[in-house]
Amino acid sequence: MSDSTSTAKKVIYASPRLGINLFMGLIDFALLYLYEDVYELRGGLVGTSLMLGKLSAAIFQCIIPWFSDHTKTKLGRRKPYLYIMAPILTVSFIMLLLPGLVLGANPPELQLFGWFATFNVLAQGAYAMTTIYHSWTAEQFPTKERPKVSAFQNIFNFMALAVTSIFSIVVLTSVKDKLQEDPTKIPQDYLTAILTFAAIMIGLTYLCTIYMPVEKTPQYTTKFKTELKQILNNKNFLLMTFIQGLSSLGWAMINAVLLSYIDTVMALEDLELYLAAVILFLGLIVSVTFWRKRIESKGKKRTLLDVFLVGIIAPPFSILGAFSFARNFIFGVVFIFFIALMQSGWALFPYIIYADMAEDAKVKDGELKTGLYTGFPALILNVFQAASLYLTGWLTELPVVDNGGPAPFTMGYVIWGPIVTVFFMVTLWVIKKYIKLDFDWEKDEDLGVTIPEEAEDRIPDKSET
């Protein structure tokens, strides 16, 4: 690897983050709302489809990166997987968000369920390409350049965040009314947006894959069983993997119901919806800056405990949605801001933590296993997320309540907050008592910040929260 790389290479390498986060932002934030509230699929079937998708992600995100590590072709070990999986991901994305293109208006329930489950399994499985993409970083850029690569990635992350926040809250919530007026016609603004997002995703992924040179790192020779055994002996890593999975019971539930909460419970309309989207976006941007500075000054463990402390305090206020007070715009603004505060804090951590733990393992045994340290947690994470989304689907079938808004809604839309808090309380206790996040070798790194460079190239990625 050369001592320095061009700005063009850094920007092109970072650019797929825009399409990747457009995909995950909509998949995590919009699917439950789209299929239950817009297409009126029963909550239990929605939850089952979401669960199956996460189980698919669990398997493929763990196995595919290891196969990539041990692949040998003229195109290297990463490019073949990106070329094959990007079109699968793109087509599945379109089919998931535009079922009416093929199924037409008012398809039978089982047909809609089969469609949702099939393409969600395909999309989540193909999403394993992002783990391969992340593993590529260390092979393409010297350590000293990774913070700059991360800076470009963050620009594309925040661009995607802005688009998905505004699109979900403003455009997607209007789709329900438009389809009720004419179920035979897909709204033009929605159709155009989805096709544009899909084109951006595959276009930028292929641009990056074509432009980047074949990696020149040595081939891996260790067996999967050997590498897995080494990881399973790392108790700190296993505990953190478990905690990420446990907390994802809460994060997945928040992502799944927040849009429905804003639209159905708060009943925000017109200008209020636009303001809510802007507040969510600005809250995330401001909060990321706050949490990054806190990591630098207080360390990772103290900051992560603070993130979950906010996560314990804020979500239970969702219960106020059962009362007319919830339709107050001020309540909506404050509630959305604190949800953004805790989400942005957690978004910084997964890749930092696992990059640090992989580096710590390298310090101890002399071998850096970035692929497996990235892929193995996905197995546990997605299993927990599958359970959370299945539970969320059934929560939406609870008896309805009425807060005086335009229409009654399921009790599940207001009791999710206290449930999330229980998950976060257990998470905070385990982190405080058992997990080490600040390592002695970090003090020897002359970086000027607390976060090691090995971790900087991993900040932040919404797909893994």
Give the 3-state secondary structure percentages of the chain, helix then strand then coil, rounded to 5: 80, 0, 20
pLDDT band at 120, cuts 50/70/90?
A: very high
Per cent of the chain over pLDDT 70 is: 84
Model confidence at 153: pLDDT above 50: yes
Residue 304: beta bridge partners?
none
The structure tokens listed for 416 are: 């999710």
CA distance 168 to 164: 6
Model confidence at 202: pLDDT above 80: yes
Between 3.90.1010.10, 1.20.1260.10, 1.20.1250.20, 3.40.50.300, what CATH number should domain 7-464 receive?
1.20.1250.20
Q: What is the pLDDT of residues 320-361, one digit of tens each?
A: 998 888 888 888 888 988 988 888 888 777 766 766 776 676
Q: What is the pLDDT of residues 227-262, one digit of tens each?
A: 677 777 888 888 888 888 899 889 988 987 887 888
Burial (CB < 10 A; 0-12, 13-18, 19+), residue 8, is: exposed
pLDDT band at 3, cuts 50/70/90?
A: low
Q: What is the mean pLDDT of the chain?
A: 80
Q: What is the pLDDT of residues 68-102, one digit of tens each?
A: 877 888 888 889 999 999 999 999 989 998 888 88
In 212-328, which ranges are continuous DSSP H helix? 224-232, 235-260, 271-298, 300-313
Q: What is the pLDDT of residues 398-434, one digit of tens each?
A: 898 888 888 888 899 999 999 999 999 999 999 999 9
DSSP per position, 79-119? HHHHHHHHHHHHHHHHHHH-THHHH-SS--HHHHHHHHHHH
| Residue in the block written with tokens 């926040």 | 165
